[in-house]
Amino acid sequence: MEFFNLHTHKYTNQDSVLELVNQYPQEFDGAIQYYSVGIHPWYIVKDRVEVDLAIIESKLKEPNCLAIGECGLDKRIEIPIELQQMVFERQLLLAQKYNKAVVIHCAAAFQEVIETKKRLNISVPMIIHGFSKNGQVANQLIANGFHISFGKYLLQKKELEEVFINIPNDRIFLETDTIEEGIETVYQLAANYKVISVLKIQEIINSNFAEVFNKTIK
């Protein structure tokens, strides 16, 4: 594999790309090669939480399930934050139990996510996907052991260049999420910002992938 896409909602099944495809408990496609599965805070259904968690736990036992998520906290939606917090914590504990990485959706709740990681003593890798904030937030996340994934906003927000440049190479991932551009486009911009070759970015991401997911991109 030449490229690793940390988070996408569109399975393209390209030979050159290893995609971590986001899946939901109630909308699961067993034909997808590698995936994450989780309860997104937008889609929490209170009366279905236990059923969804049981499905997630069954999938976490599968080798093709590389992570739980996307899951997390979002203060910009109407779903009560207390319910979001409970569902988030239950998923983190499952990740810990099955030694799986966590792909995190976070909106206006970075301090809460950091506090939750500390309080529950979560030691599995936790990756903030779709990062769009400033260097201060990035530095807090790095200091607390998080990895950070860039994609849509790296392409759209020029001010993220400096933030991305200053992230240690061993803490970065790249993704497409829902954008039309391919992961190759994100890699090219990342290489330009870091002033290195695309090949070097591939080596960095491959190394991070091996470290976080305990697998090798071939």
Strand (E) or helix (H) holding 207: helix 198-213
Helices (H), 8-109: 49-60, 81-98
On whether 147 is known to bind a ligand per the annotation, the reply is no
Tokens matching residue 13: 């099944």
On whether 129 is known to bind a ligand per the annotation, the reply is yes
Q: Would you say 144 and 121 are in contact if contact means Cβ atoms under 8 Å apart? A: no
Q: Would you say 122 and 97 are in contact if contact means Cβ atoms under 8 Å apart? A: no
On whether 105 is known to bind a ligand per the annotation, the reply is yes
As a whole number of angstroms, the distance between CA 35 and CA 178 comes to: 15
Helices (H), 61-133: 81-98, 110-120
Tokens matching residue 201: 């970015």
Instruction: Summarize the annotated binding site for a divalent metal cation as residue ranges.
Output: 70, 105, 129, 177
Indicate the annotated binding residues: 70, 105, 129, 177
